Amino acid sequence: MPFNENKATEYTREGALDPPEGTVITPPSELAGASTVSENQENAKAGAPPASGANPTVASLDRVRIDASGQALTTNQGVPVADNQNSLKAGVRGPALLKDFILREKITHFDHERIPERIVHARGSGAHGFFECYEPLDDVTRASLFQEAGKRTPVFVRFSTVAGERGSKDTARDVRGFAVKFYTDEGNWDLVGNNIPVFFIQDAMKFPDLVHAVKPEPHHGMPQAASAHDTFWDFVSLMPESTHMLLWVMSDRAIPRSFRTMQGFGVHTFRFVNEDGDSTFVKFHWNPKQGTHSQVWDEAVKVSGADPDFHRRDLWEAIEAGDFPEWELGVQLFTEEQAESFSFDVLDATKIIPEELVPVQPIGRLVLDRNPDNFFAETEQVAFCTAHVVPGIDFSNDPLLAGRIHSYVDTQLTRLGGPNFHEIPINASISPVHNNQRDGMHRQGIHRGRVAYEPNSLAGGCPYQAGSAGFVPFPEPIEADEVRGKPEKFAEHFNQATLFFNSQTPPEQAHIAAAFRFELSKVTVPAVRRRVLSMLRNVSEDLATQVAEGLGMPLPEAMPRAIEPPTPEIDQSPALSLTARPGQVGVRSRKVAILVAPGVDAGQVERFRGPLLKAGAVVRLVGPRIGPLEAAGREVLEADCSLENEPAVVFDAMVIPGGTAHVETLMKDGRATEFLKDQYRHCKPIAVLGEAVGLAESAGVLRDDADSGLFLQGEGESSVVAKFIEAVAAHRHFAREKDPPLV
Ligand code: HDE
């Protein structure tokens, strides 16, 4: 098990599982290693994990970190507990006594352990890290994190699914949240984004309707973590503004391979404001250095059974192994005048600004280098709020954003139990907090003095107003009538859906059509299906026809458009395809299975295992059972996992070495054939060597020259290894994909 040695965990210390009585444990901040921010930054550059206590957020969390190794059990009042097995009774067979405060405290605390889950984005996973600024951006923003090249700002990031409950699966077809809390030295900035750059609706007024429609249907509470049901499609088909988002959600973006392989977007237009008070519009983009990779639908369905924690585990293990995921932050900067010239409105969250119109400029990088110590204390209690902005960053008038500025703070009041959630350590700012807000449930701070008002003279006027050094809202001149309505350009709903579809590669387009077919086949009311088809006719005739055929329905009339569509600026944007960002990490942290049974050719196992490990892949020997097995040359190999406990879907690639007895065993084990078939169907790289070619033939896995991911011996082993590693780096090999699947 890999571990991060800077963390006070039970498996890092000798004898930790069986601690001798009275052991005294060194607090994490005193552990050997870097102790200053700059030393820590050097460490991070050299690829070493940062030491606890060096990162300012870590230091503030040290204060509340608890390590019980070698300590006696106590009550919450610190009273040592003599017996944690038996309640206090009047005689061993007699009634339990009310005065047993130890039993009562334990049970009472347990009874109240749960807090309400997030109304949306309930299931998530978080990590600590830092943001590093590339170059000063003082010409456009005064935000402190962007003022110096190389400046590092601590962050906590939470990724999430949207619709499922806290205990649901990771691999649902869904939008993913990508929320970043920057602990800047002028307060916390929360960039609460998604992995899709647009949204279903244009106005916050519709958000509760959208969420009610996608959540499990209220009469029977089904389906969990899925949009494939009547109420969702009923709602969205009556809201043509959702068309563009639907295309994204039906694309492979909504079934990412990993949190580490997805982009993130701030979605709305924000403002940067500089020292002189000038404003520039900005859109935020996170681009993963790991590349953008997704699953295929059949795989996502199977992973949700094999490992519902698939994404959580992937993120955790990568960070524990020191393979820190990294994203580049890019910005699209544009002026009010540019915004006015576009055929769409930049305040409309159902629209992107194509990169061809405003290029994305990289401004810094985000590195996640430390797992939380405690899921509840950190990942569950972290409270992201779009209202948390800092001097230099401001809002636009996007009406969806306006609702969010209210909603996030409001929801924490229920979820975290009152107005002092900012004092929970994971939420606390690392810059000082001084104001006259007082009291409330669970107040932690102890304010000194008798003054809790402003203006005052008794406290010398403190805390005083910061004036122009503080947050000054951008003084946008506004002269308007109060009105409930929308600007004209908000009425065009299909141009960018078409742009998105036309910018996908043929396999991506095929996946979108298949996803619509699947989702709509779960819709029981034909009129709803028809309405979606009528919507799709405005996006692409080809897509609408494929989906209609898949549902066995005739094509209906196209949905009437609210306005004559303006001519779009472009009709293709290659950046919208997942293939635009293959990534720079080669095969690092890709999981490769080598199937092994007794009699396997150990030489072939090693020929693959060695180079794969050297290239940074995670290699597992998968046997009919775990434990030792004798290879052909009597060498003993250790199977790390079994065909039963780690099925094909949790691996990115597979190798089946040769060996007569080994292949005979695998031929008789239906799980081995199924393993190979799933790898094949999911378009993953496969190398089949020696006698194992017979297994491939019997499974229907056939050589095809167009298939760059399939190696059925043939080509001479030394080159096969190198080519296989290249194929693993390329991830999926869709040339072999057929609908319906051949195998
Ligand atoms: Fe959210 N959203 N949202 N949302 N959202 C929440 O806040 C809301 C929207 C997003 O990891 C809630 O703390 C409204 C867009 C993320 O803790 C809640 C509207 C985007 C997370 C809420 C939107 C998001 C949330 C639930 C429309 C992408 C998880 C719990 C006006 C830019 C943050 C919570 C985390 C969570 C409201 C639309 C992203 C209820 C009213 C658009 C990543 O406040």
Does ligand 1 lie within 6 Å of residue 264's CB atom?
no
The set of catalytic residues is: 121, 194
pLDDT value for 716:
59
C-alpha 201 to ligand 1 mean position (Å): 13
Which of 117, 348, 384 to mutate to test ligand 1, by most ligand atoms within 8 A of the CB atom? 384
**Is the domain covering 124-233+242-427 a CATH 2.40.180.10 domain?**
yes
Question: What CATH number was assigned to the domain covering residues 501-580?
Answer: 1.20.1370.20
C-alpha 179 to ligand 1 mean position (Å): 9
User: Are 740 and 719 spatial neighbours (Cβ–Cβ below 8 Å)?
Assistant: no
Which of 120, 350, 352, 384 to mutate to test ligand 1, by most ligand atoms within 8 A of the CB atom? 120
C-alpha 221 to ligand 1 mean position (Å): 22
- Distance between CA 141 and CA 102 in Å, rounded? 56
Average pLDDT rounded to a whole number, residues 588-617: 96
Does ligand 1 lie within 6 Å of residue 207's CB atom?
yes
Does ligand 1 lie within 6 Å of residue 206's CB atom?
no
Which of 196, 241, 404, 415 to mutate to test ligand 1, by most ligand atoms within 8 A of the CB atom? 404
Q: What is the pTM of this model?
A: 0.93
C-alpha 167 to ligand 1 mean position (Å): 18
pLDDT value for 55:
60
Tell me the pLDDT tens digit for each residue of 257-302.
999 999 999 999 999 999 999 999 999 999 999 999 999 999 999 9
User: Are 583 and 610 spatial neighbours (Cβ–Cβ below 8 Å)?
Assistant: no
Q: What are phi and psi of 642, to 5 degrees?
A: -120, 165
- Distance between CA 373 and CA 385 in Å, rounded? 23
Tell me the pLDDT tens digit for each residue of 719-737.
899 999 999 999 999 999 9
Question: What CATH number was assigned to the domain covering residues 591-736?
Answer: 3.40.50.880
pLDDT value for 736:
95
Three-state secondary structure of 121-165 = CCCEEEEEEEEEECCCCCCCCCCHHHCCCCCEEEEEEEEEECCCC
pLDDT value for 511:
98
Length of the chain: 743
pLDDT tops 90 at residue 17: no
User: Are 331 and 287 spatial neighbours (Cβ–Cβ below 8 Å)?
Assistant: no
Q: pLDDT class for 22, splitting at 50, 70, 90?
A: very low
pLDDT value for 243:
98
C-alpha 250 to ligand 1 mean position (Å): 20
User: Are 586 and 371 spatial neighbours (Cβ–Cβ below 8 Å)?
Assistant: no
Per-domain boundaries in the chain:
1-71, 75-112, 124-233+242-427, 501-580, 591-736
pLDDT value for 61:
84
**Alpha-carbon torsion (543, 547, 553, 559), positive or negative:** negative
- Which residue has the least CA distance to atom 32 on ligand 1? 193
Atom of ligand 1 nearest to the CA of 177: 43
pLDDT tops 90 at residue 18: no
Does ligand 1 lie within 6 Å of residue 179's CB atom?
yes
Atom of ligand 1 nearest to the CA of 406: 41
Tell me the longest C-alpha to C-alpha distance in the chain. Answer: 91
User: Are 48 and 370 spatial neighbours (Cβ–Cβ below 8 Å)?
Assistant: no
What element of type H or E holds 642?
strand 641-642
C-alpha 164 to ligand 1 mean position (Å): 14
Q: pLDDT class for 60, splitting at 50, 70, 90?
A: confident
| Residue from 674, 707, 714 nearest 690 by CA | 714
pLDDT value for 665:
97
pLDDT value for 714:
56
Tell me the pLDDT tens digit for each residue of 167-211.
999 999 999 999 999 999 999 999 999 999 999 999 999 999 999
501-580 and 591-736 have identical folds = no
Atom of ligand 1 nearest to the CA of 408: 44
Does ligand 1 lie within 6 Å of residue 408's CB atom?
yes
